[in-house]
Amino acid sequence: MIRVAITTDRFQSAAPDFRRLGLEPVRLPCIRVEPSETDVLAQAREMASVADLLVITSVRTLDLLWPDGSMPTVGVGAVGARTAAAVAARGGRVVVLGRSGLADLAEHTPDQLVSSRVVFPHGAGADEVSLGVLRERAADLHEFEVYRSVPVAPGSAPVEAAAFASPSAVEGWHLSRGFVDIVSGVIGPTTLTALARYRPPDVVAARPSHRSLAQAMASYLEVTV
């Protein structure tokens, strides 16, 4: 079985997508997540509660802002099916789904963005191109950086492939390991750009999720279940 490094710190949520496709996920986190200051998180929660449209691009954002499993009863623009499912599980109301990323969401909701108070809590280092699309289209946008990912060196477990979901994970991997002898897969344009500084990725996920990346990597590696 081909071993794939899972470089996010959220191994439990990512690993099943690879395992069900005949790949062996290996826990090799390359990031440490640091929440923003308490007052920033509090302000983000306050603004989210009065938003017309709350844009959420990751389950991590939900967990950081509402660790008790709740969330405001406002319309949510969710990026990715997993994020949308997490919103629904908390009793949230998904009104817009961006299947291919933040830019996809922004491009398909121009009327809502123009007429809404939009609140977007996100991690530091978000894709500037996608952010630019959102900023251009949203007339009343409130952004909050609610966490940042710090690169950390992974362990030495042997793997044949590695899955990267953030530029920080790429940098963390590079602290102690190389990219020459592994198949590399990435999620999102910023992660692709980060890896391309060392070598082009072998696999790029069609959608912003580990499930999509697992499917692409299994196809590339010609894995049969």
Domains and CATH numbers, the chain: 3-30+152-220 (3.40.50.10090), 34-148 (3.40.50.10090)
Whole-number Cα distances in Å, 132 to 3, 126, 185? 37, 10, 25
Does residue 101 carry a pLDDT above 90?
no
Report if pTM > 0.95.
no
109 vs 44: which has the higher pLDDT: 44
Residue with tokens 């530029």: 167
Q: Which of 2-6, 80-84, 168-172, 194-198 is predicted least confidently?
A: 80-84
Q: Reading across the β-sheet that carries 3-6, which strands appear in turn? A: 24-27, 3-6, 161-164, 183-186, 203-204
Mean pLDDT in residue range 126-154: 91
Token representation of residue 40: 């920033």
* The one-letter amino acid at 142: H
What pLDDT shows up at residue 150? 96
